[in-house]
């Protein structure tokens, strides 16, 4: 299954790029360091609810819309996993970090 911080980072990055804004634009408006914001977008850091609220405000996107997109990505990933296949998986399977990686592994 995907990892929450990676999916959230991807959705935040997509929202930022869709608006043509830079990391610097959002970090300044959200009052978070550029490096930390970059790590959040890359899924290397967990965003607190307060930080997420600041980022969403800087993006002028409701937090509910961001969380809905993350939820939709998880729902898609979950629908692609056959529960019967899970019982046949090795004890320590490789876990995709993002929904995109999960889709790629299933298509192979």
The count of domains in the chain is: 1
Helical pair 4-18 and 63-80, crossing angle rounded to 10 deg: 130
Q: What percent of the chain has pLDDT over 90?
A: 65
Q: In this structure, are residues 58 and 29 in contact, taking their beta carbons and an 8 Å threshold?
A: yes
pLDDT in tens, 59-95: 999 999 999 999 999 888 888 866 565 555 555 556 6
Whole-prediction pTM = 0.75
Q: What percent of the chain has pLDDT over 70?
A: 82
- pLDDT at 15 > cutoff 90: yes
CATH of the domain at 25: 1.10.260.40
How many CA within 13 A on the CB side of residue 74?
13
Domain that includes residue 38, residue range: 4-107
Per-residue pLDDT, 79: 82
């Amino acid at each position: 299954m995907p990892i929450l911080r990676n999916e959230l980072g991807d959705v935040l990055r997509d929202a930022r790029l869709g608006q043509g804004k830079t990391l610097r634009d959002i970090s300044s408006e959200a009052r978070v360091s550029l490096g930390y914001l970059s790590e959040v977008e890359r899924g290397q850091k967990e965003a607190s609810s307060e930080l997420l609220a600041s980022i969403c405000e800087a993006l002028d996107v409701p937090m509910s819309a961001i969380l809905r997109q993350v939820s939709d990505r998880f729902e898609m990933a979950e629908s692609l996993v056959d529960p019967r296949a899970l019982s046949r998986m090795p004890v320590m399977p490789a876990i995709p970090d993002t929904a995109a990686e999960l889709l790629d592994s299933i298509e192979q």
